[in-house]
Structures are given as structure tokens and as C-alpha cells.
Structure 1
Amino acid sequence: MQNEAARLQCPNEHCKAANNESDKYCQQCGTFIPKLYLWAVGSGIEEYRVGEIAAERYLLKSKRLFLDTKPGLPPETQQYEITTATKPYLRLIPYRLQIPQVYGFLPGQANCDIFLLEAPVYSQATPLAGQLLPTLYDAWQDATSLRQLHWLWQIAQLWQPLSSEGVVSSLLDLQLLRVEGSLVRLLQLRADQDSQPTIAELGQLWLELVDQARPNIVEFLNQLCCSMLKGVLSTDALVAALDRGIAELGRSQARKLVISTYTDPGPTRQRNEDACYPASGNTITSPKPAVVIVCDGIGGHEGGNVASQLAVDVLQQVKQLPLDDINLDATALTNDLERFVRLANDRISQRNDNEHRFGRQRMGTTLVMAVERAHEMYITHVGDSRAYWITRTGCHQLTLDDDVASREVRLGYSLYRNALAQASSGSLVQALGMSSSTALHPTVQRFVLDEDCIFLLCSDGLSDYDRVEEYWDTAILPAINGNIQEADAVARLVEIGNTQNGHDNVTVALVGCKVEYSEPAIPLSITLFEDVVHFQERDNTTKAIAYRTEQDATVNLTPSSSDKLRQSHSIKRLLLPMLLGAILLLTGGGLLAYFLLGLNRTKQPLNYPTVPSPVALPTEPPITQSVAASTLSVGTLVQINRQIDLEQNPSAIAASTSQSQIAQVPTNGILKVTSRKENLQQGDLLRLKFLCVSDNTAEIDVSPNSRQLQQNTTSPLIQLGQEGWIHQTTLLPSVEKTLGQTKSNSCPVSTNPTTSTP
């Protein structure tokens, strides 16, 4: 017989019946029962045993994983203060898609240092419901090349915000990085210790994943990691490199989009103040371009319906942007989307001023908009209309309401559930048309499409009272699986909004995405990375000029200005051939000078792709101390200062046999120790993997003997990723320096509440 204390209490305060964990609705009154799985951070958890109840409500399911058996009651929060351990979670709430929020605290402890986080678990729609999601490392090998780069891209995007809060070490622990389909989710945050981690440490961690990466991106990742190790990549350059890799792989992806919309006044409102684009009742397949808008008017009889329609009229002209232009990068498109939002705001604000509307008489509107471009979806948001992302594994709210409660959390003042309990917590802090554009801060988010999914855009007539979280698996998931059409799902959601809520207008827009991906036969070109490092400044300058040209042409969105827009894009297309012509002319002149001035130059050996340095690095004094043999353990990264030979067959080294299997590693190569063999008589053997070559000339051996060796050697040149054996005693004199050691895949549990890991 099941422990009665371990059963779920109905959230309905008039019922409170006990239910089984598998029940979605109360067996007596039919109330929806949310499943709240919580991850405990802090010391003292070891005192509880699996199956026990903590604080008379939290059931310990497994190590540090609790289930709230009384989801209808507010958690214990009021008596606890915000600490340095909990504040980063609050301030990072804009990234709550990947970073958990603090749910509450575990009372009854002497120190009161145990807090509970929303745990990354499998949803109730999956067979593994309630279990922790797999680590990125465990899921890595089975992922496509596009998803592998997508995961790394998300980590790179999080690097800067987590650095600003002193918790970027969280991204260096593979046990904390969990994945749900294409989404990376952190189990908890880990505080930085003595010094803030660097991109080089992230590169060391990623090297552990390279061996099991898809073959067509191995070389690209090797070069990327080596550049990170050398410190020649900024965070922006790292994101840009991954962006280019994803864009290249995205060309091997086929996508089909279906858009369906509907808006309804609801059972209690006399007038519909919502508006949408495409117009209500439409279902469109493979639209070009794909632009979807939902607006919820503010102002009641004062003109909310006017404001929402004005916003839609302006924002639908986003389709004039060159969304199919491969030269339009993410930053330029984000700026364009924000500019259109400000234009819509000014159009409504000007209408308010012309009609002498002040204070509460001013009309306004919320906004949520989805724009598809190639392999990406851009979500733009102002107010409290929402966007959700639904996949086969879960439902995720993408937007954060622009209300008082969210602002309090973002500033680090309050937990979200505490903020919701305060007066005026749902009051909007910004909406279109209420003030000048200088005070408006729209949010634009970018998502990579690498799985079948649906983006839901809706007004609060549906999203209130967590109706989306309650019904996504029965009303929307069947559309992803092909069991119903998108239009049927929209009709069902509108019905839910009217019957389960019924207090407001209801507007729903679904964007269904079907994705088919085939692994490219050709590996990613290594020049993809070199373009980011060497030509990033030039590209940014060119794009900035092109963007300013587009901006000047689209300030006034009138029929005549649309002609200027097309003209500006024609000018932009003409700039590219001119630039290419200039580059070819300069290149030709350089080659001519080379042959005229260097006919007697000695032939140089084959060059490998190198780790480029964007600026001259200071010359370091020569390292005279020897590297200890004990430092060359498995996982160590070393950089050599002269050429070495690696033997593919370790037995050939011991026997001193033929040199036919020798491969030559060039000067300044970076290698990883992958294994070692103990040999008491002749010394240990090391197996090394060749990763890349650094081009830091301060560290290259340029002695005459070295150059002569490069010219006269007959050994074949090693290939990137190739491995071979060498005597440890032979390697040590050639080691310029060690670059650290790749981290272990397993991490022990710490009792420190800011650093504990599973």
C-alpha cells in the first residue's frame, strides 16, 4: 500500500484529495495537478533517504531530486533572504529556458542553506517522466552534426551573461549540462572561485567531445578548440564561428512550415481588441517569408483595438526585409526587427498625441512576433502576450512578461512566486504606444530549428492560469506527430481559452515546423573559422554600411519608400562584386610581385591550417626549465618547439625497426596525450593526437638546423586528428609548454551550496 504522505494533494483548496503521482487530474474534482520536480542545492541533503518526506511536503525521489506533494500551496520563501548563492538565478531569469529558477527553500535545517530549483526532468508526455535529463556528454555521440554545433552555440551564447554574474564555471562541468532534444539546460549554477574561467578552459572541455563528434565537423571543432586554447577568440568571435558552421550545415536541411491563426472575442467581451497576422482563420503552407504576429490591445473602450491593428499594419511590413539574403547576419536582422517595433510604437504614440490622450486614456498594445529565416526562428516580444516552443519532449515558455513581478526578479529583489503575490504584480511596465521609443526595450530571441516543433503565439486570454502548460500534450503535441492539422489545434486552443478562462479575448497563432536533416558528405571547410578571425572586422564594417543604407530607405514605411528599399538592396548586391574585384586585383598584384621578387626562394614545406593571431603577441622569454614527465598524463595538451616523428606502431619503436610508419609533426604543433604504455626498460611510450599548429612566431624554432630538417625530411606529414606513438624521453626535450589538461567527465558531489554537483 502506498504511503499516504507520499501522494499528491489536489491543488483545489476546497478538495485537497490525495492522488497518485501518475494522475494528471484530481480523481475527485478534476483539477489539474502540476508535477513540480525540484533539485536541492546545499549541504544536509544526505540526511534524507529516498522515499522520505522533507518538511511535510517534499518527497525525495532520488539523490537531491524532490517532488512537491502539495503543489497548490506556496513554497517556503518569505522567511529567507536573497543570498549571493541565489541572486544569480534571479538576475538570469531572462535565460530561464536554460537556467533554472529558485522555487523555494527547505525549512527545518540549522543553517537554512538548502534551496530548491526547478529541475530539468523529462516531461509527463515521455516514458521517462520525472527523471533527470541526460548530460550533454551522454547524448553527444547520437546527435546530428547540426545539433552538436547547436548545443555548443547555446553554451557560447550563455558565456557572457554567466560571466557577468560570476557563475560561468557552470559551463565547464559536463555533469551540469543537461539536454532536452535540441535544448541545453543547466542543472544548477556553480560559483566561480579565485579567478574567472577563460575561453581557453572551455576549449579544453570541448576537446573531450571532438573524438565523438560527427566526422564532417571534427576538423572544424579541432581548429576551433585550438584557437580557444591559444586565447585568440573573443566570445563574440566564438559565437560567430559557430553561427557560420550552423548556417553551412543548415543548407542540408529541408523545412516545411504551416501557419494557422484565429482570434475570438470570448464569451464575456463585447469587442475583440486582439489582432493577428496572417488574418484570423487562415492556414498557410510554406509562406515566403514566414511572419506571424499577435497583438493584445490595451485601453478598453479607449481604443485598444485600434492600437493592436495599427501595430499589425506596421509590423507585417517586416516581410519587406531581405530574409532570403545570405549576407544579412543575425545582428543586422535583430536591429531591423527592433526598428520595426519602434516604428509601430511611434505610430500608436503619435495617434495618442493627435487625439490628446494622456495617462490611462492612452491606447497601447502588447506584441509577440515570429519571423522565420532559413534555419532560424526570431521571436520578438513586448508586454505579456507570450510565445511557447513545443517539441515532442516538452513545452517551454520563451518570453518573459514585461510586468512588475518579472522586473523585481530580474533586479534580484525577490523570488518569482513571492513577486507574484505582491499587489500590482501583473501590471505591465512597457507596451507599444504608451511612451516614446527611447524608453522601449523590445526583446528579440533567436532559435535554431533542428527538430520538428511548433511555436505557439497567444494573448493572455489563453495563457492565463497556465492553460498552455496544462493542455500542450493533448492539444498541440498531436499536431507535431501528424495526428491532427494545425488548424484543428488552433480551434481547440481557442475553445480552451473560452471555456477554461473566458475572461478575455483569445488569439492563437501556430507555426508548425517539419524538419528533415541529412548529414553533408563534405566536411565543414576550415576557412570558415579563418574568415571569422581574419575578416570579422572587415565583414562588420561592410554589414554596418549596408545596414545604414537599408535603415535610411525604410524609416518611412510608405509605398514610395518600399521602392527605395528595393533600390538599397540592389546597391548592396552591387557592392559585393566590386569588393570581390578589388580583392582579386590586390591578390593578383601580390602574386605577381611574389614571383618577380622571389624566383630564387627556397621551396617551403607544406603548411597546415594554423591558429591565427589577430594581433601581435608579446615575445615570451625562452623556457629553459624542463617539463616533468609526471605532467604528461592522459588528457594533457602539449605544444612542441621543434619537429617530432610519431610511429603508428608502438612495437616498432621498441624494436627499432623500419621507419615506414613514421609521420612528422611540424614545429609548434599542439597535441593531446590520449594514452600511455609503461615500459620499465626503455621508458614509457605516449600516444599523441595531432590537433593543430599555432602560428605564434615567437615560439617557432627558426634555427638553421630546424629549417634544414624541414627541407630534407622524407617522413610523411601528419594529418589533423592523426595519432601516433613516441618515447616519453624523446618527447620531453621538444615540449615548449603544457596547455593544461582536459577535464574528467565525472565530478564528485560538493557540500558547497554554490558548487555542488550530482
Structure 2
Amino acid sequence: MTEPMATIQCSNPECKTINSLQNLVCEKCETPLLKRYLRPLGDWVKSLEVGQLIDERYLLINHQVILDAKPGIPPEFSEDIPEKIRKYLRLFPYRLHLPQIYTYYSPSTEDHGSEIALLEYGTIPLQESGEPCHPELLPPLTQIWTQTQDNPLRQLNWLWQITKLWQPLEGQQMVSSLLDTSLIRVNAGMVQLLDFRQDEHNFHNVKELGKLWLSLIEGSSPLIVDYLQSLCDYLQRGKIPHPDYLLTYFDSALTYCGQWYNKKYQIFTLTDSGPTRNHNEDACYPEAGELKELSPEEPNFTIVCDGVGGQDAGEVASQLAIDTLVEQIPQLPAFSQTRNSQQGLQDLAEAINFTNDRISERNDAENRHDRQRMGTTLVLSLVHDHEVYLANVGDSRIYLITPQSCHQVTTDDDLASREVRLGYLFYRDAIKYPNAGALVQALGMSNANSLHPNITRLITDDDCIFLLCSDGLSDYDRVDQYWPLEIAPILSHEKDLPTAGKELINVANDKNGHDNVTISLLYCQIELASVKQTPLLMGDVEAVLESVKEETQPITEPSDDLPSDLQPTEPFPYKEEITDGNKTNFLLIFSILGILVLILGLGIYGILKLLLPPSPPISLPSPSPSLTPRPSAESSSPQPGEFIQLTQVLSLSQTAQGTEPYLDLPVDTVLQILPSEDPEKAIKVKICQIASESSSEISSTKELEGKEVWMITPNSSSSTYQTYKGEVSGGCVKLAP
């Protein structure tokens, strides 16, 4: 695939030796070679020749694949970020499934067009020669689907992941990406999109998935083919009108299919103070140094904490967090035999909040303030049957490792990640700033009202390993470098967990050495039982739905009130999460009514567009390419007098009941919160400034500014806007820093 003399530079800044692409490690310093294969965004690459080196760095493998030949050097970035690029940044929390911008800049010469943009996908399957296994980096779902007929749980898992992506992509008007089979790729058990498609119209329905998935029926496992046929029929007939409702069907189906599999779990933990620290502020569970065999019938969990705080109290906070969670988690009601997956997410969040308050109360009792308060990061994995629940607070991480891939599952609670989610900076640009790693939340620094643990759920459908670690190991891309050598051999039975764990500690101490280091390896072994199974039918799923009524309780919404020692610039914004579960019957009915309301609203709005003249552009604060203070967002629920700026297109109503549609407002529109009698159902707002860069279907009109309308809160969570202090002066909104 590549040129015979293709080379790659060692990423060790003290080495930088040029190596053959076939090398696994640097021939001089033996640092594992990072091979980052990227995909060009746009058609600027079509005029170039295969084998050409772009800007003396990016090697054109083919017109779909580019290799970064200097992965140890930070890529370049443009200061100006167009809206089409910001959408990638806002979807940063979903990078497990969605591409991210690796670099975006104007080239040093004019030979390659006006801009260079490259997408990255994490790790991709590579051959022994170091070249990609697939000509477009990742294989299409439609190509791999028939090859997994012997793993019905994986096939259901892929469709479940697609369904979970519906709402975040819909919020960025790119849900049509899930309806283009050429974009839906797979990386082992993970669905990953090759790129995004902008929606040509504002409304897509999940019934379109029914038509699309019919093409997969022929290659489906015999154990689920009848169920999938019925599911597609339900979707096309509108019997499943909402993605949350569709997720309940998948949850029940996955639970049923999970019983067909034999499961074995092992955990090994290890911790070390490191070569430069005189004491260890990390803590872990189970006890370090012991290999633990787990029973698949019971909830089993592992925890890693990295203490922070003054007066050497970090180790107190981390151990207190471990002790409290070990006490709380076995008592969680949702992890019974007839479990409730959505309730499990909520219960786990409550256990973490309880742990936070116990540490916070200890701080208060010892009269600790500001930087003297002790706290701790947290990463937690809880395995129950075929599911694994994952939680994190702070910058400790969880990675998912398969034989050919390593995925960072968690998103760091630091300033760099926050700036990316807000669309202000590219990730590989943000991490260059001195305060990029400053935490925006940790356990124990304040009460649970201002803590928002990140919790999600994955399906284990094949052998894999979850690595939980403190930043003593994850700093400087050490996991990305060493997982093929130190962790992947476990999956091929060439290495056991204790050996791999000790080698990871050595990597952290030898290659980093600046901090304590703690790791936990959770080894999941999954295989379809050899006994004959009864195929899944729609009636089986509906029986489960009827017997287990899941009550949807949202994971605690993030607030924006963190102590100053965790937040050197400003409070953190909302955390976008892929959450599971079904809505109540009320919300289902509300969604159906919302569809009718939207259709009527578009008609009314079309008339308004013809009657009202356009408004002049608005003047809003422009983000700068630095980690400097942004307008604050001081509470997850906006209060009267505050302002919100939309991060997604939002529909508003003329009444608090939502029965009279008015219009859709574009991203960046500014609204002021007015007093409302029942803000749990509807929030009254005044339209202050409408974004000037709106789509052709949304008119920015001066006459609409000043109108008082309603946001129906079940459809407008804090993920659709950012909250600010501010004032209106001279007809212009000034958002306060």
C-alpha cells in the first residue's frame, strides 16, 4: 500500500530517529513508534500524487489515507474555526464513535489548496508491516456484518450504538450520517463514523433506520434474524417513534441474548509511589497485587483514585473514596437479577455523589478551604453480566483494549477538554497550553450539587481488557505507545495480568516518573455457549418490557459551580453523555405531539420569513485560541435575569404548554431568562439577539428580537445551551466574563 521507503520519526523528543515504517519500536531508543493514520477532510487531496509528502510531514498513502510521519511534533492549527469544523469539536465527548480534527491550517505553500484538514479515529487495525488493514482505515459495517453471524450479541450491540448516537448528531443537524451506510464503519466492537453528513432538512425520524437495517437481515445471526425483521417492521410502521423508545427494545434484547454467553472476569491492581515522590496519594480496589477471579452472576467492580489537595491529604481523600464506594456499590438495588439499566446509571451516580459529600464533610470538619481542601479523581468499572458501567471524575482514565485497538473511553475533566467541547480550541492544540491539565472537577472539593460524574455503559461482546489508570501512566501518550506490547498479549494468552500490570508500572516509572502511578486491569472473556439456544423473537422482548417497567431518571446534570482551586479560569460547562434507557409514556406522547407541532411550526415560520426583513449581524464575544477566562456559567438551571447562548438549534413555543409552535432559533442565538411559574415544565425567555450565521431555513429578523416565548424544558436540557451573566446595553447583549 505504501511506498517502499516510507519512514516515520520517533516520537521521543530526545531521539527523533527516522525509522522504517515496518519497525514496531525505534531502532535507536526502542520507544514504540506511534503510527497515526489520518483521513483528509474535503477534496483538496485529489490533485496530489500518492507518495507525496505534504508540508514535509504528511505522507499521502492513497487519496483516503495519510500518515503523520512526525507524530511527536504537535500539529498546526488555524486560529479561525468555521462553524462546520466547530461541530466536530462540540461532539468531542463522543469521540469513541466519531472522528475528530487532527489538524486544520493553511499550508506553507499554495500547492495544496487554501486549507488542510485531517481527521483522526484513535487506533485502527494495522498489519504486521505497520500498514492499515483496510484501504479506508476502517471497514464498512455492511461488509463486516455477515462475518459476525456467530456473534449475535455483537450485531445487536452495533445497532444499539447507532441508536445512542441519534440524539447527539441530531443536535448538530447531522443525524443523516447514521442513514448513510458508506459512513458507518466498525472497529472491533465499536461503531465509528468515517465522517459526517449535514442534514438537508431539519427533521429525520428513526423509522428511517428500519428501512436501512432491512438490508442487514440476510446476513444476521439466525438467533436474532426474526427479531430484527420485526424490529424493522415496527420502525417503518411508526410503532417505535423515538430513539429512547428504540433503546428500550435493544436493552431488553441485549439482556435476553446475554444469557447465551459464558463469561469470565479477572481483575489485577497495582500501585507505586514512583521514583520522585516520597509518598503515594493513589489508591485502588481490589487490594493491590492480588489477582481476583470474579463471579459473572454478581456485580464486580474495580476503582482507581488519584488524590489531590494540600497538606499531604490526597491519600486520605483517595482512600476515603475507595472505602465509601466499596461500602455503597454492593447495596445498589439496580444490579439485581432483574436489573434496570437506566436506574443502574442513576444509582451509580448517587453512590459517587454520596462519596463526594463524605470527603467534602471531612474537609469542612477539618476547616480546610480553597487549595487546602483535599480531593481525588476517580475511575470505576462495574461489570454486571454482559454490561460494563464506567464512571470517571477528574483526569484518571479508562481505556478499552481489543487485539487490534485501544480506545480511550473517558473524557478528562480538565480545561483542555472543556475548551474543545465549547468549540473554542482543537484538542491537540489545547493540550499545549501550560494550564491545559488543570482539573475542573474532583471528588470532595465541594458538595454534590456541583459534582457531575461522567457515567456510561458499554456491552462486552468479545474478549477485551479495560485499563483503569492514574495520569502517572497515561501522561505523554504512554498507553497509546505501549498497549500493543504490554496489554494486547494478554488477549492472545501470551501474558498474564500480573505480569502485564508490573510491566505497565515499570513503563510509567521509567518513561514518565513524575508522579504516583496506579493501574487496574479488568480482563473480560466472553464466548457464545456451545449449547443450542432458542432464537430471540419480538414477543420475548415485549414480555421483558412488560414485566420490567424501567423508570427513566436522567444522570445528574452538571452544574457550573466549582471551587477556585479546581477552576483557574471559569466554571466547567455541561457534560454531553450518551445515556441509556427509555422515556416515560408521557414523554413518548409528548414526542409524537412535538413532531406535529414542528410540522405546523415550519409552515408558520415560512410565512414569517417572507414577511419580516433580515436583521443586522450581532456582536458576541469571539473566542481566542488560548485557555483564558470565558463567560461564566454558574448553574445548570438558568435563573431569571441570566442569559443563555444556544449550542444547538432550538424550537420555541408561544405558550407554556407547547401547543402553539413559533420558530426554530439557530446556534449562538442569545436569550434572556424571565420569571416562570413552573420552570420544570417551561421556561419563559426573551429573544435578545439572533445569530447572523444561520441556515437558509432560519431567518435572523430584527422584529423577532424582544419577543417573549417559551422553552419546553423536557426538550431543552442544559446540553442545548450555555448559561451566562450579562446585560443589555444600547440594544446589544454584553456577556460578562
Cα deviation 1:469-527 (Å, max 9, x = unaligned): 11111111122222222111111111211122111111111111111114853221222
Q: State which drifts further: 234-243 or 108-117.
A: 108-117
Match of 2:202 in 1: 195
3-state secondary structure, aligned to 1:307: helix
Pair 46,270 (structure 1): closer, same or farther in 2 beyond 3 Å:
same
Instruction: Please tell me whether residue 260 in structure 1 is matched to residue 268 in structure 2.
Output: yes
> Contact 1:216–1:524 at 8 Å: present in 2 too?
yes
TM-score (norm 1): 0.69
Pair 474,125 (structure 1): closer, same or farther in 2 beyond 3 Å:
farther
3-state secondary structure, aligned to 2:550: helix
> Contact 2:103–2:116 at 8 Å: present in 1 too?
no
Pick one of 451, 455, 479 that aligns with 1:444: 455
How large is the Cα RMSD of the aligned pairs?
A: 2.7
Paired AA for residue 86 in structure 2: K
Pair 613,119 (structure 1): closer, same or farther in 2 beyond 3 Å:
closer
CA distance in 2, matches of 1:72, 1:616: 53
Match of 1:63 in 2: 63
Cα deviation 1:687-707 (Å, max 9, x = unaligned): xxxxxxxxxxxxxxxxxxxxx
Paired AA for residue 94 in structure 2: Y
Pair 363,153 (structure 1): closer, same or farther in 2 beyond 3 Å:
same
Pick one of 132, 141, 146 that aligns with 1:141: 146
Match of 2:626 in 1: none
Match of 1:312 in 2: 322
Pair 148,298 (structure 1): closer, same or farther in 2 beyond 3 Å:
same
Pair 232,502 (structure 1): closer, same or farther in 2 beyond 3 Å:
same
3-state secondary structure, aligned to 1:451: coil
Pair 429,481 (structure 1): closer, same or farther in 2 beyond 3 Å:
same
CA distance in 2, matches of 1:13, 1:344: 41
Paired AA for residue 141 in structure 1: T
> Contact 2:5–2:20 at 8 Å: present in 1 too?
no
CA distance in 1, matches of 2:32, 2:489: 20
Instruction: Please tell me whether residue 521 in structure 1 is matched to residue 533 in structure 2.
Output: yes
Alignment of 1:398-413 (within 5 A): 398-413=409-424
Unaligned runs of 5+ in 1: 548-611, 620-758
Instruction: Please tell me whether residue 361 in structure 1 is matched to residue 360 in structure 2.
Output: no
> Contact 1:302–1:361 at 8 Å: present in 2 too?
no
Match of 2:290 in 1: 282
Unaligned runs of 5+ in 2: 556-588, 597-737
Paired AA for residue 52 in structure 2: E
Match of 2:309 in 1: 299
**Aligned-pair distance for 1:13?**
4.5
TM-score (norm 2): 0.70
Match of 2:362 in 1: 351
Pair 271,524 (structure 1): closer, same or farther in 2 beyond 3 Å:
same
Pick one of 407, 427, 440 that aligns with 2:438: 427
Pair 325,55 (structure 1): closer, same or farther in 2 beyond 3 Å:
same
Instruction: Please tell me whether residue 341 in structure 1 is matched to residue 343 in structure 2.
Output: no
CA distance in 1, matches of 2:281, 2:123: 38
**Aligned-pair distance for 1:615?**
8.4
Cα deviation 1:71-115 (Å, max 9, x = unaligned): 1222220x3522222112111111111111100126245863541
> Contact 1:120–1:133 at 8 Å: present in 2 too?
no
Residue correspondences, number:
548
3-state secondary structure, aligned to 1:316: helix
Paired AA for residue 217 in structure 1: I
Pick one of 225, 234, 237 that aligns with 1:230: 237
**Aligned-pair distance for 1:238?**
0.7
CA distance in 1, matches of 2:593, 2:470: 54
Instruction: Please tell me whether residue 17 in structure 1 is matched to residue 17 in structure 2.
Output: yes
CA distance in 1, matches of 2:221, 2:36: 36
Match of 1:122 in 2: 124
**Aligned-pair distance for 1:12?**
4.1
> Contact 1:275–1:296 at 8 Å: present in 2 too?
yes
> Contact 1:379–1:444 at 8 Å: present in 2 too?
yes
**Aligned-pair distance for 1:319?**
1.9
Match of 1:745 in 2: none
Pick one of 388, 394, 398 that aligns with 1:383: 394
Pair 164,289 (structure 1): closer, same or farther in 2 beyond 3 Å:
same
Cα deviation 1:25-59 (Å, max 9, x = unaligned): 33234444311111111122210121112222111
Pair 424,128 (structure 1): closer, same or farther in 2 beyond 3 Å:
closer
CA distance in 2, matches of 1:467, 1:37: 18
> Contact 1:120–1:185 at 8 Å: present in 2 too?
no
Match of 1:640 in 2: none
Q: State which drifts further: 191-200 or 144-153.
A: 191-200
Cα deviation 1:701-746 (Å, max 9, x = unaligned): xxxxxxxxxxxxxxxxxxxxxxxxxxxxxxxxxxxxxxxxxxxxxx
CA distance in 2, matches of 1:486, 1:239: 35
Q: State which drifts further: 150-159 or 296-305.
A: 296-305
CA distance in 1, matches of 2:486, 2:592: 56
Pick one of 384, 396, 402 that aligns with 1:373: 384
Instruction: Please tell me whether residue 221 in structure 1 is matched to residue 231 in structure 2.
Output: no
CA distance in 1, matches of 2:24, 2:461: 30
Cα deviation 1:104-155 (Å, max 9, x = unaligned): 1262458635410014763347577423221100000111211111100000
CA distance in 1, matches of 2:56, 2:23: 20
> Contact 2:122–2:406 at 8 Å: present in 1 too?
no
Cα deviation 1:186-206 (Å, max 9, x = unaligned): 111111112332212221111
CA distance in 1, matches of 2:195, 2:410: 21
> Contact 2:357–2:444 at 8 Å: present in 1 too?
yes
CA distance in 1, matches of 2:25, 2:550: 54
Match of 1:251 in 2: 259
CA distance in 2, matches of 1:23, 1:530: 53
Match of 1:414 in 2: 425
**Aligned-pair distance for 1:423?**
3.0
CA distance in 2, matches of 1:377, 1:133: 25
CA distance in 1, matches of 2:454, 2:232: 31
Cα deviation 1:669-700 (Å, max 9, x = unaligned): xxxxxxxxxxxxxxxxxxxxxxxxxxxxxxxx
Match of 1:46 in 2: 46
Instruction: Please tell me whether residue 27 in structure 1 is matched to residue 27 in structure 2.
Output: yes
> Contact 1:168–1:196 at 8 Å: present in 2 too?
no
Alignment of 1:320-331 (within 5 A): 320-322=331-333, 325-331=336-342
Pair 326,220 (structure 1): closer, same or farther in 2 beyond 3 Å:
same
CA distance in 2, matches of 1:398, 1:232: 33
Pair 164,523 (structure 1): closer, same or farther in 2 beyond 3 Å:
same
Cα deviation 1:536-564 (Å, max 9, x = unaligned): 9x8135x88xx9xxxxxxxxxxxxxxxxx
Pair 434,386 (structure 1): closer, same or farther in 2 beyond 3 Å:
same
**Aligned-pair distance for 1:68?**
1.0
**Aligned-pair distance for 1:432?**
0.2
Match of 1:207 in 2: 214
Pair 616,357 (structure 1): closer, same or farther in 2 beyond 3 Å:
closer
Alignment of 1:350-749 (within 5 A): 350-518=361-529, 521-530=533-542, 535=546, 539-540=549-550
CA distance in 1, matches of 2:404, 2:31: 23
CA distance in 2, matches of 1:495, 1:334: 35
Larger-Rg structure: 1
Cα deviation 1:388-426 (Å, max 9, x = unaligned): 111112111111110000000011111001111223100
CA distance in 1, matches of 2:231, 2:482: 43
Pair 113,204 (structure 1): closer, same or farther in 2 beyond 3 Å:
farther
Pair 111,439 (structure 1): closer, same or farther in 2 beyond 3 Å:
farther
CA distance in 2, matches of 1:405, 1:486: 33
**Aligned-pair distance for 1:302?**
3.7
Match of 1:242 in 2: 250
Pair 454,185 (structure 1): closer, same or farther in 2 beyond 3 Å:
same
Cα deviation 1:645-691 (Å, max 9, x = unaligned): xxxxxxxxxxxxxxxxxxxxxxxxxxxxxxxxxxxxxxxxxxxxxxx
> Contact 1:241–1:528 at 8 Å: present in 2 too?
no
Pair 116,614 (structure 1): closer, same or farther in 2 beyond 3 Å:
closer
CA distance in 2, matches of 1:133, 1:345: 41
Cα deviation 1:283-327 (Å, max 9, x = unaligned): 111244311111110025341011001100111120222465232
